[in-house]
A and B are shown apart, each in its own frame.
Chain A
Amino acid sequence: MNIIKEVKRARKGNKASFEMLIREYKTTMYRVSKTILKQEEDCADAIQEAILKAFHSIKTLKEPKYFKTWLLRIVMNECYTIIRKQKKVIQLDQVPESSSLEEGYSKIETKELLYSLSEEDASVLKLFYIKDLPIKEIAEVMDIPENTLKTKLRRAKKRAQLQVKEEGLQWKSGNNS
């Protein structure tokens, strides 16, 4: 698929092109949303809102080559909106997510590690490991220079490594459920 061409068509109101673009990036949309939200249903809601907003505002996208990062930024904004709404009900930040043995020990340890890091470090790390989302695009999504992102990433990795050492987290060889 020629992304640029499809974006141009979508901007002109071509619904089929817009649908193709969404299908092209749906997995990345989900993975990005999952770095912020915990529940699948919340991810689905955030993506739904993002699709609707993107569809109605695609005309404001000036450069077709930025469609992907523009879309992902909308997804992230929708995720934060959902978090804000949820915080009105309960301060989730204050409540560590309960772990379930069914998830396997390693997953719990990853969650513990991420929870022990600052929100920014955890977010940068999660985005960095998403496939098909290169550093350049993460920087665009986060709206920061690429070099700044690289610095943040180095620091986040270092802190994570320190946490692993200091907390003595033992990494199992896979999912033990």
Chain B
Amino acid sequence: MEKWEQQLDQEVNGNLPKVVEQQIEETLNTLPNKKASRKKWMYSVAAAVVATGIVVSSSSVSTTIADSLQSVPVIGSVMEKVGGLGEKNGQQKGLTVTAGEEVDIGDQTIIFTETLYDGNSIYISYLNTSTDLNKQVLSGVPTVMIDGEPLRNYGIGAGGQKLKEGVYGETMSIRTSEELPDEFLLTLGGETNGSQWQVDLPVEKKGAETVIPLNESFSNEDNHLRYSTLSFTSTSTRVQFQLITPEDSKLIQNGQHFDIQVEDGNGRVLRGIGASSRSALLHDGTVQGQYTFDLEPYGEDLPESITIKPYLMKIPLENEDVEPVVFTTKKWKGEPITLSQGEMGNLTVQSVERIEGDVTITYSVDGEDEAMQSSTFWIEDSENNMYKENRVERRVEGNTFKQTFYDFPAEEDIYLHSTEMDSHHYISNFEVTIDIQ
């Protein structure tokens, strides 16, 4: 490279100036939450990884202040209140470790309350005393250290919801393929506006883990699927497989959503709580994808069998004519009421309990995919403000679920919402039933 080229190379690869970075963050914070108006909306509910971009404005080094937990007007476990199905289950089994670490960030405080590690994922819960969830949530991509050593390969997901005015409860999950010790000090750190923040959290592996190697292969035309493992921990039921397809396979084309439905021997369809995949184009033109699906965990007793049913869901392309979503909306009047979910089935709201701003709704679903059906539900007030911050509904028993929406206006009527959905297109050649016991 000639001298002038070296100089040009340096000049065009300048770092992002603060003024630009700040304006980008401010712009992102002003983006409205979109309320989907098309049929595609429903496809995100199946096994989506909960991930929220998070920004910290400034920070200072943390200090241990266990007392501050008492000063926050939230009673009970944050992990239990706002965590996903996995975190809730882990917390209920007493597998969490109290953290009690506090970080002051600008005019807000982040209080780390609990950690949970089951061998699959690390979960961290925290309270955030900001006035705006989008602007002040902690995460982004913090650096992660295990016993002082940097963790190199990891993914982070985060989500949460408003608990009370000025108090948000959130959880963060860290997944890694690296081997971790059974007990360690987890250090999270970051830099905001030039100032460093860091917090040390105790983590301890708890709970039983059952891993079942599968090694079963199936073919459908030129597509080949090999199930690798099925594992059960306190926070998830995990299915892992490899899918090898031609580059132009229908399974991986734009406009198709490849997913799995997992059902146990008792007919219970498991709710997806997270999914990840990575794929590579091989020299021979085939695409090799590694898929991991996390679904709701089991309690003490594992099921006798698990059936995995891969399916394709058509997602209309942008240039295709799309039928508008048929929303089903009914006002709660104190009596059980049924919402149609189209070909998929029905959702019936059994009861609504209101305690101040907390609205807890018990409902049952009846149909083809109770996991998808139960998650396609939200409430609105009379001004069409949507309440769907709660991340996952809780299974009460069988096909009955319970979901709590926080900070709903006390005087407002409750409008119950769902949508009509088409049936799945199952790929029967890929279906497998695994005997567990």
Question: Which A residues are closer than 8 A to B by beta carbons?
Answer: 2, 5, 8-9, 11-20, 22-23, 26-27, 30-31, 34-35, 40-41, 43-45, 47-48, 51-52, 55, 59-64, 106-107, 109-110, 113-114, 125-127, 129-131, 160-161, 164, 169, 171, 173
Q: What is the minimal beta-carbon distance from A175 to any residue of chain B, in angstroms?
A: 9
Which residues between 1 and 55 of chain B lie within 8 Å of chain A, taking CB atoms? 2-5, 7-9, 11-17, 19-21, 23-24, 27-28, 31-36, 40-41, 43-44, 48, 51-53
The answer to whether B35 and A23 have CB atoms under 8 Å apart is no
Task: Tell me, in angstroms, the Cα distance from A14 to B31 when the chains sit together.
Answer: 11
The answer to whether B24 and A47 have CB atoms under 8 Å apart is yes
B278 within 8 A of A: yes
Q: What is the minimal beta-carbon distance from B391 to any residue of chain A, in angstroms?
A: 12
Q: Which residues of B contact A63 (CB under 8 A)?
A: 254
Give the A-B pair count, Cβ closer than 8 A: 121
Q: What is the minimal beta-carbon distance from B40 to any residue of chain A, in angstroms?
A: 5
Q: Which residues of B contact A41 (CB under 8 A)?
A: 19
Nearest 3 Cβ contacts at the A-B interface: A171-B3, A13-B34, A19-B53
Task: Tell me, in angstroms, the Cα distance from A61 to B16 when the chains sit together.
Answer: 26
Q: A12-B41, A26-B21, A43-B20 are in contact. Are A106 and B7 (CB under 8 A)?
A: yes
Besides A18-B31, A160-B4, 4 other CB < 8 A contacts? A12-B41, A20-B53, A23-B140, A26-B24
Q: Which residues of A contact B48 (CB under 8 A)?
A: 9
Task: Tell me, in angstroms, the Cα distance from A96 to B318 when the chains sit together.
Answer: 45
* CB contact between A129 and one of B9, B16, B32, B319 (< 8 Å): that residue: B9
The answer to whether B53 and A26 have CB atoms under 8 Å apart is no
Task: Tell me, in angstroms, the Cα distance from A47 to B254 when the chains sit together.
Answer: 28
The answer to whether B44 and A14 have CB atoms under 8 Å apart is yes
Task: Tell me, in angstroms, the Cα distance from A78 to B3 when the chains sit together.
Answer: 32
User: In chain B, what residue has the closest Cβ to A157?
Assistant: B5
The answer to whether A44 and B19 have CB atoms under 8 Å apart is yes
* CB contact between B14 and one of A14, A31, A60 (< 8 Å): that residue: A31
Could you write out 11 A-B pairs with CB less than 8 Å apart? A9-B44, A12-B40, A14-B44, A15-B33, A26-B16, A26-B24, A34-B12, A44-B24, A47-B20, A63-B254, A110-B4
* CB contact between A35 and one of B12, B51, B53, B317 (< 8 Å): that residue: B12
Q: What is the minimal beta-carbon distance from A119 to any residue of chain B, in angstroms?
A: 16
Q: What is the minimal beta-carbon distance from B141 to any residue of chain A, in angstroms?
A: 8
